[in-house]
Structure 1
């Protein structure tokens, strides 16, 4: 994932009327979050802000950040004894910001569901130090998560299938990143599973992002190119690319729906997101966009309402005249298009699990 860092101290300087060298004015941070205007989030927030919903983030943990007051104590499955609020790579903190950052001004980041709670479940360490996500999924279920975001991909361990099945039976919405080129050539696990919403990425023009994989298992698409979000140093990352970001945005949308319609089942939430999506590419469901690009406002409207066109057109290009930040050295920066690895157990596990795997891999996708 490509990142250009905006240091937290710049916020203080901006507040004093001083521009930090090499960074855009933080008053323009909300403009850098182009996906908010593209998805018409102002209107969406007049309908729902995600209050009362907990979103579990299975990732690298979530670091303390001034824009993330809603992060509750979770669990660290990399270093037992931790509560998940430790992030060595910054990936999980960025995903949490896209879901539920609570920016109260234009120089702070804003999430899709700012009043949702974030339950951090650390399953990814530094480098490729990973664990099975099965226990993390069970922890999320037992601690009341209504949505589980998995911006991760790779192989799959036997226990993970059981965890996914238990979450489905517990009426939890499961969302995962589809995978990123060039590392991935098709939709990866866990997104490839039937019970999981596989999310691809689009750019500012609503076109499939160059980094986003295609595949028959793709369900829906969301912004995932040149994304701005929170980082683990307390500041912001600008220029993130990947289906990880797109999946986090869809998780935020699911939280809005679960808050607005608490009696709506997980299956109905997914069907609502898919049926109101803006069709792109080949008419109908296709391997590049799935059901289309998410339209959050249309999904939130009362059943029977006419879908909006809030995501049908590209957002206007924002020009601030500020100097773009130069890439800053960072040990935890990811290469462009990288997708955080999950586990290297391989596809052979599908054979071992027989009927269960066959059940989970049967796609729900239908042509509208």
Structure 2
């Protein structure tokens, strides 16, 4: 959840912001909901015209023809709210809920975090802009449960947000936040999973050089896809939060995202990687509308690209998410809805294929039976020929017997030469 600007310019003169705010506040109908709520979001000022590395890595446009780019899928973003004023989120953000203020529709983001997450999931293509979301025709349901991304987020409020998303028909719930274990949260997540909703959460981050123990939540709950971030080189960042709660790895470092209102900015962390996986899940939900939530999670896991550490490593889970493979792979084992996403079997490629061995056993059995029948037939025939004074088939010719050889076929009248293997 680290934000950086690098070469992106940031508004640094507070006086200018205030002056512009005063001017705009005097215009009819120009009231800004963020200002009215007492927060001013940092606004990006640069437009990213190049294609970001994550878009090149995942190439989500290859999946769009199979999934209508996520059309019709509702993704709840349980976060700091979503600013719907940015051009790339225009038409993508439905009215949600604000559980921080107790009023409003969730389309307010003082921190810019929820807006960044939403853009990675459903950012619309825009002419002259290289950045685009994973499922640009999906719909975002903003669920504002925090004003900032910090360690003081109320898990009970997150639980309330998840239950609201369930009631509003979300089929994917993205939680790019980590909180402490809580009874209400555990129950809300369990209900979402039981109802076939794909729940995706950040696998968490530790301070640089630290090694956190245990599991962050809700990623640590059964049935939740826990996602860890990787950089452009495929490596997980130093000081992350490894563990059994990690199910998948996805691009999450130095991610170009939209900023509130206009422009772009850069975020890093597992929370951005979780958004990428939620967008991938949205593509699958649109491409396979009858697929259960557990089956969607399994398909993402079983088609992941191999990563260091082998299947279900503590750092990369089952591997790097690959939405294209998840969409076009025709047959996969499962779904096994009774098994939570964090405790699935190894990918299909790691399982031995016994079909060839089984076929060999059948062929060998048939050949053995045919050989026995042939031996029995020869034995009966030889006994008949011997009783009639003839030469047994396969035996040497009797003394004084004349052979006439047909050179064209190699067959001699009077006996049959057994064929030899060529």
If the length of structure 1 is used for normalisation, what is the TM-score?
0.76
Classify 1:58/1:23 alpha carbon distance in 2 versus 1 (closer, same or farther; 3 Å): closer
Partner of 1:83: 105
Kept in 1: contact 2:204–2:228 (CA 8 A): yes
SS for the counterpart of 1:71 is: coil
Partner of 2:89: 68
Question: 1:41-90 deviations in whole A, cap 9, x for unaligned?
Answer: 22122322100100000000001221102100000011111100011111
Q: Which moved more, 1:209-218 or 1:196-205?
A: 209-218
SS for the counterpart of 2:49 is: helix
The answer to whether the aligner puts 1:366 opposite 2:319 as a matched pair is no
Classify 1:78/1:360 alpha carbon distance in 2 versus 1 (closer, same or farther; 3 Å): farther
For 2:129 and 2:274, the matched residues in 1 are separated by 24
Matches within 5 A, 1:212-291: 212-238=240-266, 240-291=267-318
Classify 1:120/1:360 alpha carbon distance in 2 versus 1 (closer, same or farther; 3 Å): farther
Matches within 5 A, 1:100-179: 100-107=122-129, 109-126=131-148, 128=152, 130=154, 132=156, 133-179=158-204
For 2:138 and 2:114, the matched residues in 1 are separated by 16
SS for the counterpart of 1:55 is: strand
The answer to whether the aligner puts 1:46 opposite 2:65 as a matched pair is yes
Classify 1:159/1:179 alpha carbon distance in 2 versus 1 (closer, same or farther; 3 Å): same
Q: Give the C-alpha shift of residue 110 in structure 1.
A: 0.8
Question: 1:244-263 deviations in whole A, cap 9, x for unaligned?
Answer: 00000000000000000000
Question: Which sections of structure 2, spanning at least 5 residues, go unmatched?
Answer: 12-43, 333-337, 348-422
Partner of 2:26: none
Q: Give the C-alpha shift of residue 125 in structure 1.
A: 1.6
- Ranked by relative contact order (alpha carbons within 8 Å, sequence separation 6 or more), the top structure is 1
Question: 1:301-330 deviations in whole A, cap 9, x for unaligned?
Answer: 15239xxxxxxxxxxxxxxxxxxxxxxxxx
For 1:278 and 1:302, the matched residues in 2 are separated by 13
Higher helix share: 2
Partner of 1:37: 56
For 1:23 and 1:136, the matched residues in 2 are separated by 31
Kept in 1: contact 2:49–2:131 (CA 8 A): no
- Determine which of 225, 231, 237 is the counterpart of 1:209: 237
Kept in 1: contact 2:298–2:341 (CA 8 A): no
Cα-Cα RMSD: 2.5
The answer to whether the aligner puts 1:191 opposite 2:215 as a matched pair is no
For 1:268 and 1:55, the matched residues in 2 are separated by 17
Q: Give the C-alpha shift of residue 210 in structure 1.
A: 2.6
Q: Give the C-alpha shift of residue 181 in structure 1.
A: 2.2
SS for the counterpart of 1:222 is: strand
In terms of Rg, which structure is larger?
Answer: 2
Classify 1:108/1:84 alpha carbon distance in 2 versus 1 (closer, same or farther; 3 Å): farther
- Determine which of 58, 76, 79 is the counterpart of 1:56: 76
SS for the counterpart of 2:77 is: strand
For 1:363 and 1:173, the matched residues in 2 are separated by 13
Classify 1:270/1:129 alpha carbon distance in 2 versus 1 (closer, same or farther; 3 Å): closer
For 1:99 and 1:184, the matched residues in 2 are separated by 29
For 1:24 and 1:136, the matched residues in 2 are separated by 33
SS for the counterpart of 1:287 is: coil
Kept in 2: contact 1:78–1:130 (CA 8 A): no
If the length of structure 2 is used for normalisation, what is the TM-score?
0.66
Question: Which sections of structure 1, spanning at least 5 residues, go unmatched?
Answer: 10-21, 306-358
Kept in 1: contact 2:119–2:258 (CA 8 A): yes
